[in-house]
A and B are shown apart, each in its own frame.
Chain A
Amino acid sequence: MAPLSEEARARRSHATYGYEAGARGRRGEAETPSGGEAEVLSEPATVLAPAGTAERTVTFDLGVTTVRALNSELHAPTATSYEVLRPQGAHAIAAGVHAPLTIDVRGHAGYYCAGMNDGGLITVQGNVGTGVAENMMSGVVRVRGDASQSAGATAHGGLLVIEGSASMRCGISMKGVDIVVGGDIGPMSAFMAQAGRLVVCGDAGDGLGDSIYEARIYVRGTVAGLGADCVEKDLRAEHRAELAELLTAAGIDPVGEYAPERFRRYGSARRLYHFAAGNSAAY
């Protein structure tokens, strides 16, 4: 039995961020679209623009145009910077992005916002519904508000930052993603979490890390209860170092109230890695 190399995982995670720590400003700061000419599109057919598009920000107003038109453009991009106005809680906004695009969603989004993101730098200036950044492969997704259930579910890589709180099942079955939550997370979070890091600056709900594999969890506040096979572990120097890195990447200064020493680490006791009748009471 050879557990995944932690170094290899760390290398992969950081290599896929495509993101510079602190570049997007501190929590609570207003985000402004990158400079250049803004163009509001009402018809998908008018998306295409002449060459030299890298400099401009293309704007989609979902009060006028459709999510289909938006995603169609994002999957075959003609620019590198996008702004989504009046998202109105629509589902699957910016799902399936697979290029290093900067996408600013200026309002609340519905289910599966930034679903399966692979390289996009996606910011939501509001709250998100179920499954934000589910199965993300790489890139950065930042939610300025709160997230509903299953944030970052099964995600393989990249960084998901939720500045507010996340509901139940945050980081469920996570497979290498890093998730930083500014507030609290709900019950059954990191259920069967396989790999990656989950950092919670507030409190965690009941059943944290149930049946967890190799993911590492850091919680600053209280934990209502640990799930099967999840235990508190020592916070060693290397953990303090990675925590400081993760907080910094999320735009949080790892000092004072947010110093790594203020967090506790949780992970797998690895007692349930082999199915055995003697464990029946543990489930």
Chain B
Amino acid sequence: MTEFPPTASPATASPATASPAVMSGQEASLGLRESHTFDRATIAGIQRAAETGVYDIRGWGAKRRLPHFDDLLFLGASMSRYPLEGYRERCDTDVVLGDRNAKYPLRLAIPVTIAGMSFGALSAQAKEALGRGASEVGTSTTTGDGGMTPEERGQSKHLVYQYLPSRYGMNPTDLRKADAIEVVLGQGAKPGGGGMLLGQKISDRVAAMRTLPAGIDQRSACRHPDWTGPDDLAIKILELREITDWEKPIYVKVGASRTYYDVKLAVAAGADVVVVDGMQGGTAATQDVFIEHVGIPTLAAIPQAVQALAELGLHRKVQLVVSGGIRTGADVAKAMALGADAVAIGTAALIALGDNHPRHAAEYAKLGSAAGFYDDFQDGRDPAGISTQDPELAARLDPVEGGRRLANYLRVLTMEAQTIARACGKSHVRNLEPEDLVALTIEAAAMARVPLAGTSWIPGQGTGDHGRFG
């Protein structure tokens, strides 16, 4: 942790949504003391509930302070390890996803992919921009709960087609056009939850794609309609393979909760790739109480997933894609060092397109928000033109320019991850390993299963260098 004095640790933090209770000097000098239990954000939440009689629905992911990649550091090479020249020597980044069963696995140039986000939640222009940006740097993008748009398919070299409980817009023609299929069981922002697209975002086009009347609040189911449990899922995956003639990789995506067991069951059901989305992963519209109180942090989920794969003898054979709070190349490198084969970004990709940009400050203020805080993706009035179906707002986002910005950002993430990998002496970012990492906090050490910096202590695993994954 870099802050001093430290704010409350996660274990003792005041309610999840609350920002740390920091008082101004003026209030403190008057002898005023803000409650950690009932801080100002909590008080505002209670008052809002009393006024409206309905819970808060919002976008974004968990905002509470969580153990995260920031709590890990790399051990650069020195006497006992040879580094690679940071600006010159080769450090590869390519990744193959889904080569266990599929005739045509995905071959990506970089290990950073774009997570599933729906047309409906996002404008058609935003979806196109994601496709353009991803394609420019040789990575994949993903559809969402609302089907595949021609804009997205046309601009995405590698497109992963989500197979969701609602099956909105789901059809075999698009299935055959996809490069991979992602069976979605849940997402990190709301493991165990379905969806809700509020009426203000249901344009005629969105309504037609989902076979529902325009303007109504659309619920998305939380359970698949035609299978229950892992044994059924195995048959469902078989059907998807049959329909697509065993050509396409099948991913299974889970929200991080009982990750060790979920990954084992997903693999047993036949997944070629497992996607684990931590609780920092974003959503377009979910109850705040759900976002902040259900699921586990990305950091805690990765070692569980890797352990499950390793025990099955399938680590690196069934690929692991991790998402939820990836922001920098350091995050990419840390996720990969812990055992991920690739990562996916959602929120960060939208920010790269222009979400929460200070140039919209005046408009955010009109919506009762501010640049850096805007999370009303459910509302459809996004000044940046991303999480909206309003034609005028959506027209603000130029898909070509948006694609360029996303491609730039993806290049930076990749170069940053390479920089760290070279410093650790790795000629491929995939070669980063837990041994390259230490933790800054006991919580992070326990969750990530790497030693506390300067010690050989991995909480929960005794002391000593043996048995890190033992």
Show the binding face of A for B, using Cβ within 8 Å: 1-4, 67-68, 71-72, 75, 91-92, 95-96, 98, 110-112, 115-116, 118, 130-131, 134-135, 137, 149-150, 153-154, 156, 169, 172-173, 175-176, 191-192, 194-195, 211, 213-214, 273-278
**What separation, in Å, do the CA atoms of A192 and B225 have in the docked complex?**
10
Number of A-B contacts (CB under 8 A): 125
**What separation, in Å, do the CA atoms of A172 and B166 have in the docked complex?**
10
Tell me if A115 and B243 are in contact (CB < 8 A).
Answer: yes
Tell me if A156 and B211 are in contact (CB < 8 A).
Answer: yes
Tell me if B54 and A276 are in contact (CB < 8 A).
Answer: yes
B258 contacts partner chain A, Cβ-Cβ < 8 Å: no
Tell me if A112 and B53 are in contact (CB < 8 A).
Answer: no
The answer to whether A1 and B215 touch (CB under 8 A), given A92-B238, A112-B236, A173-B221, is: yes
**What separation, in Å, do the CA atoms of A192 and B242 have in the docked complex?**
27
Tell me if A150 and B243 are in contact (CB < 8 A).
Answer: no
The answer to whether A154 and B226 touch (CB under 8 A), given A98-B172, A111-B235, A118-B173, is: yes
B459 contacts partner chain A, Cβ-Cβ < 8 Å: no
Task: Give chain A residues whose Cβ lies under 8 Å from the Cβ of B290.
Answer: none
Task: Give chain A residues whose Cβ lies under 8 Å from the Cβ of B312.
Answer: none
Total residues of chain B contacting the partner, CB 8 A? 37
The answer to whether A173 and B225 touch (CB under 8 A), given A2-B215, A98-B172, A116-B175, is: yes
**What separation, in Å, do the CA atoms of A276 and B170 have in the docked complex?**
28
**What separation, in Å, do the CA atoms of A277 and B405 have in the docked complex?**
41
Tell me if B173 and A67 are in contact (CB < 8 A).
Answer: no
Q: Which 6 A-B pairs have the closest CB atoms?
A: A96-B243, A1-B215, A131-B226, A150-B226, A154-B167, A273-B216
Identify the closest chain A residue to B57 (Cβ). Answer: A275
For chain B residues 168-224, which have a beta carbon within 8 Å of chain A? 170-173, 175, 196, 198-199, 204, 210-217, 219, 221
The answer to whether A130 and B232 touch (CB under 8 A), given A2-B215, A92-B239, is: yes
**What separation, in Å, do the CA atoms of A277 and B243 have in the docked complex?**
42
Tell me if B54 and A274 are in contact (CB < 8 A).
Answer: no
In the complex, 15 of the A-B residue pairs with CB atoms within 8 angstroms, ordered by the A residue number, are A92-B243, A95-B239, A96-B172, A98-B173, A130-B227, A131-B227, A149-B226, A150-B226, A154-B170, A192-B221, A211-B219, A213-B212, A273-B213, A273-B216, A277-B54
**What separation, in Å, do the CA atoms of A222 and B424 have in the docked complex?**
71
**What separation, in Å, do the CA atoms of A1 and B213 have in the docked complex?**
7
Identify the closest chain A residue to B168 (Cβ). Answer: A175
Q: Tell which of A67, A118, A277 touches B53, judged by Cβ atoms closer than 8 Å.
A: A277
Task: Give chain B residues whose Cβ lies under 8 Å from the Cβ of A195.
Answer: 211
The answer to whether A68 and B227 touch (CB under 8 A), given A112-B236, A192-B221, is: no
Starting from the known contacts A111-B235, A137-B172, 5 additional A-B residue pairs (CB-CB under 8 Å) come to A111-B232, A112-B226, A116-B172, A213-B213, A273-B217
The answer to whether A112 and B235 touch (CB under 8 A), given A68-B242, A95-B243, A173-B166, is: yes
B364 → chain A closest CB, angstroms: 25
Identify the closest chain B residue to A94 (Cβ). Answer: B242
Tell me if A75 and B245 are in contact (CB < 8 A).
Answer: yes
The answer to whether A175 and B211 touch (CB under 8 A), given A118-B172, A150-B226, A273-B217, is: yes
Task: Give chain A residues whose Cβ lies under 8 Å from the Cβ of B227.
Answer: 130-131, 150
Q: Which of B172, B204, B238, B245 has the most CB of A within 10 A?
A: B172
B257 contacts partner chain A, Cβ-Cβ < 8 Å: no
Task: Give chain A residues whose Cβ lies under 8 Å from the Cβ of B204.
Answer: 2
**What separation, in Å, do the CA atoms of A267 and B239 have in the docked complex?**
32
**What separation, in Å, do the CA atoms of A118 and B52 have in the docked complex?**
47
Task: Give chain A residues whose Cβ lies under 8 Å from the Cβ of B219.
Answer: 192, 211
Identify the closest chain B residue to A273 (Cβ). Answer: B216
Tell me if B244 and A96 are in contact (CB < 8 A).
Answer: yes
Identify the closest chain A residue to B167 (Cβ). Answer: A154
Identify the closest chain A residue to B202 (Cβ). Answer: A1
How does the 8 Å CB contact mask read for B231-260 relative to A, with 1 for contact and 0 for none? 010011011001111100000000000000
**What separation, in Å, do the CA atoms of A135 and B198 have in the docked complex?**
25
Identify the closest chain A residue to B194 (Cβ). Answer: A192
Task: Give chain A residues whose Cβ lies under 8 Å from the Cβ of B235.
Answer: 91-92, 110-112, 130
The answer to whether A71 and B242 touch (CB under 8 A), given A175-B211, A192-B221, A273-B217, is: yes
Identify the closest chain A residue to B165 (Cβ). Answer: A173
B166 → chain A closest CB, angstroms: 7
B379 → chain A closest CB, angstroms: 13
Task: Give chain B residues whose Cβ lies under 8 Å from the Cβ of A175.
Answer: 167, 211
Identify the closest chain A residue to B213 (Cβ). Answer: A3
Tell me if A154 and B214 are in contact (CB < 8 A).
Answer: no
